[in-house]
């Protein structure tokens, strides 16, 4: 299995697991919380069939990557992504993030710039800023996130069940857009994550991305469900789109948070149409 070393903790390296398949323009897929690159399988298959080089990796603390006790913040996550992009010497890359993974895309472009990036896709985005503050009254109360962390500490596995219920809108979509088996598989993937990383990642969700947004100097596609219970559309995608220099929002009617699985056909169609525009422009 391929790994890239991005740091060290005491005597152990911090290695990120990645997969790199196909050829053509590179697409980097950055997964959501608390999962790993395996949950991209419906998108990966479509990208490979369309002729794209498709790269997934597991965020530190998740999947097959190392599980250090620190580094669960977006400056570090973006540095990890930058290390991968440089190690693989990616050019004209398309960065695709889902949920928590959209934070990596946003902070990466805000910090390292667009030199190696052609365009970006944010699925169910985290930005612009989730926390309610005097200058961000549209945000959510800190007590909500404190409650998440208390639930993780008390019984992380019970928390995962509640999270997966809301990730899929399972009460409505069970047996329709998500099977019981797919639900269990996502739960099991989440259960493999670092307990410390699961807990500390909640703090990362409260990152203020507003200063990064003007630096996203590439075309950006936003795709989000209007029934997203994890990151409600009104607090995220609808606010974010007009704050970006060049962005288009696609709203999926009736869709939950976990759209790379539940609405894969619509997501793949949107990504491939968006990617093809960039290919045409370069030609």
Q: What is the DSSP string of the chain?
A: --EEEEEEETTEEEEEEEEEE--SSEEEEE--TT--GGGGHHHHHHHHHTT-EEEEEPPTTSTTS---SS--SHHHHHHHHHHHHHHTT--SEEEEEETHHHHHHHHHHHHH-STTEEEEEEES---S--B-BTTBTTSB-HHHHHHHHHHHHHHHHHHHHHHHHHHHTHHHHBTTTB-HHHHHHHHHHHHTS-HHHHHHHHHHTT---TTTGGG--S-EEEEEETT-SSS-GGGTHHHHGGGSSSEEEEEETT--S-HHHHTHHHHHHHHHHHHHHHHHHH-
282 has pLDDT over 70 = no
122, β-bridge pairs: 97, 222
Q: Residue 283: is its pLDDT beyond 60?
A: no
Measured CA to CA, the distance from residue 216 to residue 59 in angstroms comes to: 22
| CA-based R_g, the chain, Å | 17
Residue 104, CA distances (Å) to 116, 279, 283 in order: 15, 24, 29
Give tens-digit pLDDT for 77-136: 999 999 999 999 999 999 999 999 999 999 999 999 999 999 999 999 999 999 999 999
Q: Domains in the chain, ordered, with CATH?
A: 3-282 (3.40.50.1820)
Number of neighbouring beta carbons within 10 Å of residue 203: 12
Q: Active site includes 257?
A: yes
Region 232-249: what's the mean pLDDT? 97
| Dihedral, 125, 131, 137, 138 alpha carbons, nearest 10 | 20
How confident is the model over 149-189, as pLDDT tens digits?
A: 999 999 999 999 999 999 999 999 999 999 999 999 999 99
pLDDT: which is higher, 282 or 10 = 10
Name 155's Cβ contacts closer than 8 Å, sequence gap at least 6. none
User: How many CA atoms lie within 13 Å of 265's alpha carbon, on the beta-carbon side?
Assistant: 1
- Annotation marks residue 23 as catalytic: no
Catalytic residue among 15, 58, 212, 228: 228
| pLDDT score for 280 | 58
Note the pLDDT tens digit of each residue in 191-236: 999 999 999 999 999 999 999 999 999 999 999 999 999 999 999 9
Out of 31, 98, 186, 257, which one is annotated catalytic?
257
Task: Tell me the pLDDT tens digit for each residue of 33-56.
Answer: 999 999 999 999 999 999 999 999
d(CA 231, CA 124): 7
User: What pLDDT is recorded for position 279?
Assistant: 63
> Residue 47 has what pLDDT?
98
pLDDT tens digits, one per residue of 248-263: 999 999 999 999 999 9
DSSP β-ladder status, 220-225 and 117-123: parallel
Q: To the nearest whole number, what is the mean pLDDT of the chain?
A: 97
Contact 138, 235 (CB under 8 A): yes
pLDDT, tens digit, 9 for 90 and up, residues 119-139:
999 999 999 999 999 999 999
Catalytic residue among 15, 58, 99, 177: 99
pTM of the complete model: 0.97
Minimum mean pLDDT range among 144-158, 228-242, 269-283: 269-283
Q: Does residue 143 surpass a pLDDT of 90?
A: yes
Q: Is 179 a residue of the active site?
A: no
12 pLDDT higher than 70 = yes
Pairing assessment for the beta strands 53-57 and 12-21 based on DSSP bridges: antiparallel
Query: How confident is residue 278, by pLDDT bands cut at 50, 70 and 90?
Result: confident
């Amino acid at each position: 299995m391929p790994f890239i070393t991005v740091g060290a903790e005491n005597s152990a390296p911090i290695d990120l697991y990645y997969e790199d398949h196909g050829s053509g323009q590179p697409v980097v897929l950055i997964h959501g919380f608390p999962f790993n690159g395996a949950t991209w399988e419906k998108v990966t298959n479509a990208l490979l069939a369309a002729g794209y080089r498709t790269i997934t990796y597991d965020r530190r603390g998740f999947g097959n990557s190392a599980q250090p006790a620190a580094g669960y913040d977006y400056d570090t996550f973006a540095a990890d992504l930058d290390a991968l992009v440089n190690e693989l010497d990616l050019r004209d890359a398309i960065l695709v993030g889902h949920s928590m993974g959209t934070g990596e895309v946003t902070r990466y472009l805000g910090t390292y710039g667009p030199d190696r990036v052609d365009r970006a896709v944010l699925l169910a985005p985290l930005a612009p800023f989730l926390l309610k503050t005097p200058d961000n009254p549209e945000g959510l109360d800190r007590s909500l996130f404190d409650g998440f962390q208390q639930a993780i500490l008390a019984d992380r596995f019970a928390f995962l069940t509640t999270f997966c219920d809301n990730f899929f809108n399972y009460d409505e979509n069970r047996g329709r857009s998500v099977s019981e088996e797919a639900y269990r598989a996502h739960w099991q993937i989440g259960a493999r994550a670092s307990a410390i990383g699961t807990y500390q990642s909640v703090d990362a969700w409260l990152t203020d991305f507003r200063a990064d947004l003007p630096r996203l100097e590439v075309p950006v596609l936003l795709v989000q469900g209007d029934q997203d219970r994890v990151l409600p559309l009104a607090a995220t995608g609808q606010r974010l789109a007009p704050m970006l220099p060049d962005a288009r929002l696609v709203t999926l009617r009736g869709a939950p948070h976990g759209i790379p699985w539940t609405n894969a056909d619509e997501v793949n169609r949107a990504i491939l149409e968006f990617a093809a525009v960039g290919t045409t422009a370069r030609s």
